[in-house]
Structure 1
Amino acid sequence: MSKEGEQDRKIVRLKLSDQVFERLRELVASGELAPGDFVPSERTLMERFGVGRPAVREALQAMQSKGLITITHGGRSRVNALTAGVAFSQLDDIAKLLLSSEPANIEHLKVIRHILERGTARLAAAKCTSKDAADLTELIELQRAQLGDAEAFMKADIAFHTRLAEITGNPLIKAITEMMLTWLFEYHASLLLWSGREETTLSEHAVIVKCLKANDEDGTEHALEAHLSRADSKFSSANQT
């Protein structure tokens, strides 16, 4: 845009509710409103910012929609703890729209899964404790208990891979892994009608845990990659039937 064009652009005045939202967000970011704190009453906010009740209420609703606070009807609203899960949950609707509007993005997401989980496997193998391995083994048995219920079996699969990601000690990896797998499984609904390889999945999970328990980084990565490659062929077969 030319310099003259930039000068001619109209100045947009922010809505009062948007300004209140920004002020509240700043209070959270600065720590003045800490996780677990009660949000000041509507009347207090009206007096503090010099605005009416509609602007305050709209700003509070925006704060809740972004996961920053929880509004309790009949009670005091509280500030939420800011976690990776809260942050990435804001992408959920947009990500689902992106995947449903452009199917090729599912294949792109599967590529990202390979890259992320292979790296996760190496980090987890270096840090895996006997407690971590025991937890994963227990999750395999919980998944085995879901045989015959495809949807519950897939949710148990997500739990296994999420717990594996947790071993890295990186909350961002854990949050991204959980959301990524949730998106993938949701857009492979045809798998709910697919069966016959559940025992293979359980066996592959057991091999991954064996490598993790031995803190074998190369072995864990190779076992994870073999598992994902077989899962991709499963996806393809399911979609072709």
Structure 2
Amino acid sequence: MAEKLTSRPGGDHQGEGGGTSASASATAWEPVPRSRTFELVLARIEEQILAGNLHVGDRLPPERELVELLGVSRAAVREALRVLEAQGVLRSRVGTGPSSGSVISAMPSAGLTQLLRLHMALANFPLTHVVEARATLERSSARLAAERATEDDLARMREQLARMDDPELTLEEFNDSDTAFHVALAEAGGNRLMTDMTVAVRSAVRGALLAAFRELTDWEAVAERLRAEHHAVYAAIAAGDVERSGDLVEAHIRGFHQHIDL
């Protein structure tokens, strides 16, 4: 039978792996209003995670218990759990043993970047806002990369530079290597969130960039300038020049978007 949420002094409840499970006392799971019910169920679960009462590996109370604790229908609970599972926050384990039920899981980077990418696409942010955010983000990444890049990091960046130097690359292939270079730069900075955000931003604008590339009458000249700027950014990072690395990558991003007038 799936584990039941119980109340005891201190609000601790030992779950799978010895960690704090669906943990807090029953009073933490207050009934919710009945309007937009499944969203409010989501909010209650998020509150438990943000409060530190639920951690990766912990199990939520069974559906029927959540129905009682929150004062909602089973349909609302199931819808909320489906949303969290689609987001990568929960994984379902089938069965009746101690490891069954809905388990809190760490969201993989791919899941996070997909959510960010979709949000950016649906929110229809003005391009100026995207460029500003990207320039600020990658300036910080480049500065960190100049401080932290390993030889493996530098090798991954050089690999993409060599690919972009190939004059036979198609627009799509050039753009993909360009993206891979900037992702490698972010990875060299050692900040996973900044890397995921870089991937999300580049993925969100990929279609618009390719469309703009195809409209250029001087693509070869633009590509040559981009190659030179990428090499300069790499050289500054490899030299450990923090200020120059940040300045160059920001100028590269802003200058590129001004040139293509996207």
Same fold per TM (> 0.5)?
Answer: yes
Distance in 2 between residues matched to 1:16 and 1:222, nearest whole Å:
49
Identity of aligned residues (%): 26
Q: Find the counterpart in structure 2 of residue 163 from structure 1.
A: 184
> Which ranges of structure 1 fall in alignment gaps of 5 or more residues?
1-10
For the 8 Å contact 1:211–1:219, the answer to whether it is kept is yes
Could you say what the CA RMSD is over the residues aligned between the two structures, in angstroms? 3.7
1:110 paired with 2:135, answer: no
The alpha carbon displacement at 1:72 in A equals: 9.0
Larger helix proportion, structure 1 or 2?
A: 1
The farther-off stretch of 160-169 and 190-199 is 190-199
Q: Kindly provide the CA deviation profile for residues 6-58 of structure 1, in whole angstroms up to 9, marking residues without a partner as x.
A: xxxxx953455445434544565567765467777xxx422553466533321
Conserved 8 A contact 2:38-2:80? yes
C-alpha separation in 2, matches of 1:70 and 1:143: 40
Aligned counterpart in structure 2 of residue 63 of structure 1, from 84, 98, 101: 84
User: In structure 2, do the counterparts of structure 1 residues 229 and 45 end up closer, same or farther at CA, with 3 Å as the change threshold?
Assistant: closer
Q: Within 2, Cα distance between the matches of 1:227 and 1:59?
A: 43
Instruction: Specify which of 191, 196, 200 is matched with residue 212 of structure 2.
Output: 191
Matching residue within 63, 72, 97 for 1:45 = 63
Q: CA deviation at 1:179?
A: 1.9
| In structure 2, distance between residues paired with 1:200 and 1:154 | 14
Say how many residue pairs are matched. 220
Report if the CA contact (8 A) 1:129-1:213 is conserved.
no
CA distance in 2, matches of 1:38, 1:13: 25
Residues 72/199 of structure 1: CA separation in 2 closer, same or farther (3 Å cut): farther
Question: Deviation at 1:218?
Answer: 3.2
| TM-score for both structures, normalised by structure 2 | 0.65
* Change in CA separation of 1:90 and 1:151 when aligned onto 2, cut-off 3 Å: same
Amino acid at match of 1:214: A
Q: Report the Cα distance in structure 2 between the residues aligned to 1:229 and 1:18, rounded to whole angstroms.
A: 39
CA distance, structure 2, for counterparts of residue 30 and residue 144 of structure 1: 50
- Asked if the contact 2:84–2:90 (Cα under 8 Å) also holds between the matched residues in 1, the reply is yes
What is the rounded CA distance, in whole Å, between the counterparts of 2:33 and 2:257 in structure 1?
49
Name structure 2 gaps, 5 residues minimum.
Answer: 1-31, 95-99
Q: Output the amino acid matched with 2:64.
A: M
Letter in 2 for 1:120: S
1:224 maps to 249
Alignment match of 1:151 (pick from 172, 184, 189)? 172
* Matching residue of 1:212: 237
Cα distance in structure 2, aligned partners of 1:150 and 1:78: 44
